[in-house]
Chain A
Amino acid sequence: MGWIEILDRAEVVTDKHHIRGSTGGGEIRRAPNLVPLRITCLPNDQDKMFKLSDKILLLCVGEAGDTVQFAEYIQKNIQLYKMRNGYELSPKAAANFTRKNLADYLRSRTPYHVNLLLAGFDETDGPGLYYMDHLSALAKAPFAAHGYGAYLTLSILDRYYRPDLTRDEAVDLLKKCIEELNKRFILNLPSFSVRLIDKEGIHDLEKLMPVGAK
């Protein structure tokens, strides 16, 4: 599906920290819901976010098929760890496990062509966001994005991100990013699903639909 497919991988994640959190911290992620194909639009209700555990989400985009295969494989292995050991992997450990798998497959005959964002909340370390790409790079980042949309949104995030954003400010920042995409991005992205992770777990926020997008 060439360059048009890249569109539906435009996603943005904002990470906010709350130190000494009585209100706790959290992170917000979103992924667009539409797959445009030339001038027609295919509504795509595939959820790109995979729940690895109670407090970890994996956003997985890239080659069709590879995404679901890889993400589900990681998901089940994280669950297996929970069953074997009685407690869940931390986000940092899960991210490193995922990266190792990606790296092992990279130099095999069957690499997974996927780009990932892993977001999780750790009891001791607080919220954390991990950026991974198809070459198995791993970086912990305050905010991240994949796809062509990243060229636009990363500058917005650079300008307005602060480590002490509150939950509402973070959602506003996300809205700013989506507005920017709505304004300058060549393709039309009418709706985004948003999830938030905090010390209570994963919460679905309401879908964001930029004004004027169809």
Chain B
Amino acid sequence: GDHCVGIRGTDIVVLGVEKKSVAKLQEERTVRKICALDDHVCMAFAGLTADARIVINRARVECQSHRLTVEDPVTVEYITRHIATLKQRYTQSNGRRPFGISALIVGFDYDGTPRLYQTDPSGTYHAWKANAIGRSAKTVREFLEKNYTDEAIATDNEAIKLAIKALLEVVQSGGKNIDLAVIRRNQPLKVTSPKSLVV
């Protein structure tokens, strides 16, 4: 599917997605690949958009349900585990097919720690410092392995730049096909396009 990259900085988490160019008559806004799950958590996915809608909806309900019963916002690990468990259930019984998406889930726990997790259709999840999903994820990941250093994520802007550079490895036609989502500690999700950033 389309490419996504996620970077965990020190005070910021960044998600970048490739925006497939839309047909001339199509309204651009209807294809949203980065979704807020709660005020402090968001996710991007690669794969079947329709499957993603279901997973995202279940995650959003779980975020509020958790707040209702426990009076605390979810930790990023908790909601990732919830999504992964959901995916796993569909691999094992009742003749259903698995969800055809990999997801990158980012956010801040309420103690202020930034987190990045990745899930795949099998239902496994791992924490990452930086990762990519999608068709040529390997290329992007290799770029990140070479370029993810402490200096590269030293400031918020540097982390954003790294995400953009990583995506540009595989995205054709450059900046206008990239959507960025940024969460800073204690601030809500901000979805932007690269040209509106002061970098």
Residues of A within 8 A of B (CB): 72-73, 76-77, 79-80, 83-84, 86
CA A146 – CA B55 in complex, angstroms?
Answer: 42
Contact between B68 and A83, CB atoms less than 8 A apart? no
CA A154 – CA B60 in complex, angstroms?
Answer: 42
For A86, give the chain B residue with the smallest CB separation.
B36
Which residues of chain B are within 8 angstroms of A72 by Cβ–Cβ distance?
68
CA A77 – CA B57 in complex, angstroms?
Answer: 13
B126 at interface, CB cutoff 8 A: no
Which residues of chain B are within 8 angstroms of A77 by Cβ–Cβ distance?
64
Contact between A84 and B60, CB atoms less than 8 A apart? yes
Contact between B67 and A83, CB atoms less than 8 A apart? no
Report B27-64 residues with CB < 8 Å from chain A CB.
36-38, 57, 60-61, 63-64
Which residues of chain B are within 8 angstroms of A73 by Cβ–Cβ distance?
68
Contact between B65 and A83, CB atoms less than 8 A apart? no
Contact between A76 and B57, CB atoms less than 8 A apart? no
In the complex, how many residues of chain B place their beta carbon closer than 8 angstroms to a beta carbon of chain A? 11
Q: How far is the CB of B168 from chain A (nearest CB, A)?
A: 28
Which residues of chain B are within 8 angstroms of A86 by Cβ–Cβ distance?
36
A and B contact pairs by CB, cutoff 8 A, 21 listed:
A72-B68, A73-B68, A76-B64, A76-B65, A76-B67, A76-B68, A77-B64, A79-B64, A79-B67, A80-B60, A80-B61, A80-B64, A83-B36, A83-B37, A83-B38, A83-B60, A83-B63, A83-B64, A84-B57, A84-B60, A86-B36
Report B60-95 residues with CB < 8 Å from chain A CB.
60-61, 63-65, 67-68
CA A149 – CA B27 in complex, angstroms?
Answer: 55
CA A35 – CA B32 in complex, angstroms?
Answer: 50
Q: How far is the CB of B25 from chain A (nearest CB, A)?
A: 24
CA A68 – CA B38 in complex, angstroms?
Answer: 22
Which residues of chain A are within 8 angstroms of B37 by Cβ–Cβ distance?
83
Which residues of chain A are within 8 angstroms of B61 by Cβ–Cβ distance?
80
Closest 6 CB pairs of A and B: A76-B64, A83-B60, A76-B68, A80-B64, A79-B64, A72-B68
For B57, give the chain A residue with the smallest CB separation.
A84
Which residues of chain A are within 8 angstroms of B67 by Cβ–Cβ distance?
76, 79
For B32, give the chain A residue with the smallest CB separation.
A86
Q: How far is the CB of A176 from chain B (nearest CB, A)?
A: 38
CA A214 – CA B67 in complex, angstroms?
Answer: 37
Which residues of chain A are within 8 angstroms of B60 by Cβ–Cβ distance?
80, 83-84
Q: How far is the CB of A99 from chain B (nearest CB, A)?
A: 20
Give the residue among A77, A79, A86 with the most B Cβ atoms within 10 A.
Answer: A79
CA A77 – CA B61 in complex, angstroms?
Answer: 9
For B37, give the chain A residue with the smallest CB separation.
A83
Which residues of chain A are within 8 angstroms of B36 by Cβ–Cβ distance?
83, 86
For B38, give the chain A residue with the smallest CB separation.
A83
Q: How far is the CB of B36 from chain A (nearest CB, A)?
A: 6
Which residues of chain A are within 8 angstroms of B65 by Cβ–Cβ distance?
76
For B67, give the chain A residue with the smallest CB separation.
A76
Which residues of chain A are within 8 angstroms of B64 by Cβ–Cβ distance?
76-77, 79-80, 83
Which residues of chain B are within 8 angstroms of A84 by Cβ–Cβ distance?
57, 60
Q: How far is the CB of A132 from chain B (nearest CB, A)?
A: 21
For A77, give the chain B residue with the smallest CB separation.
B64
Given pairs A73-B68, A80-B60, A83-B36, 17 additional interface contacts (CB within 8 A): A72-B68, A76-B64, A76-B65, A76-B67, A76-B68, A77-B64, A79-B64, A79-B67, A80-B64, A83-B37, A83-B38, A83-B60, A83-B63, A83-B64, A84-B57, A84-B60, A86-B36
